[in-house]
Amino acid sequence: MPPKKIIIIGSAYPLRGGGISTFNERLAKEFIDEGFDTTIYTFSYQYPSFLFPGKTQYSSEPAPENIPIKVKINSVNPFNWIKTGNELKRIKPDIIVVRYWLPFMGPCFGTILRRVKKNHHTKVICIADNILPHEKRPGDSIFTKYFIKPVDGFITMSQKVLGDLNQFSKNKPAQLVPHPLYDNFGEIVTKEEARKKLNINSDDKVILFFGFIRKYKGLDILLNAFKILNSKNNNKHYKLLIAGEFYDNKKNYEELLNDPVIKDRLILHTEFISDSDVKYYLCSADCLIQPYRSATQSGVTPLAYHFEKPMIVTNVGGLPSLVPDRKAGLIAEPNAESIAAKITEYFELGEGFFLPGLREEKKKYSWENMVKAILNLV
Q: Would you give per-residue pLDDT tens digits along the chain (378 residues)?
A: 556 899 999 999 887 556 789 899 999 999 999 999 999 999 998 877 655 555 555 666 778 899 999 999 999 999 999 999 999 999 999 999 999 999 999 999 999 999 999 999 999 999 999 898 777 788 999 999 999 999 999 999 988 899 999 999 889 999 999 999 989 899 999 999 999 999 999 999 999 999 989 999 999 999 999 999 987 766 668 999 999 999 888 999 999 999 999 999 999 999 889 889 999 999 999 999 999 998 877 889 999 999 999 999 999 988 999 999 999 999 999 999 999 999 999 999 999 999 999 999 998 899 999 999 999 999
pLDDT confidence of residue 41: 98
Amino acid at 248: D
Strand ranges inside the chain, DSSP E? 5-9, 37-45, 69-74, 95-100, 123-128, 153-156, 174-176, 205-210, 238-243, 266-269, 287-290, 311-314, 329-332
Of 209, 205, 182, 202, residue with least CA distance to 311: 209
Exposed, middle or buried, 240 (CB in 10 Å: 0-12/13-18/19+)? buried
Overall pTM > 0.75: yes
pLDDT confidence of residue 62: 73
Q: In the chain, what are the domains? A: 5-176 (3.40.50.11930), 191-362 (3.40.50.2000)
Q: What angle do CA 147, 295, 246 make, to 5 degrees?
A: 95
287-290 and 205-210 strand pairing = parallel
Q: How far apart are the first and last CA of the chain?
A: 12
Whole-number Cα distances in Å, 243 to 12, 231, 303, 324 = 22, 24, 14, 24
Q: Are 222 and 298 in contact (CB under 8 A)?
A: no
pLDDT confidence of residue 52: 56
| Residues 316, 278: Cα–Cα separation, whole Å | 25
pLDDT confidence of residue 61: 72
Of 46, 11, 5, 36, residue with least CA distance to 25: 11
pLDDT confidence of residue 60: 60
pLDDT confidence of residue 140: 93
pLDDT confidence of residue 136: 74
pLDDT confidence of residue 219: 97
Of 156, 162, 240, 250, residue with least CA distance to 206: 240
pLDDT confidence of residue 51: 59
| Residues 117, 108: Cα–Cα separation, whole Å | 15
HEC sequence for 202-261: CCCEEEEEECCECHHHCHHHHHHHHHHHHHHCCCCCEEEEEECCECCCHHHCHHHHCCCC
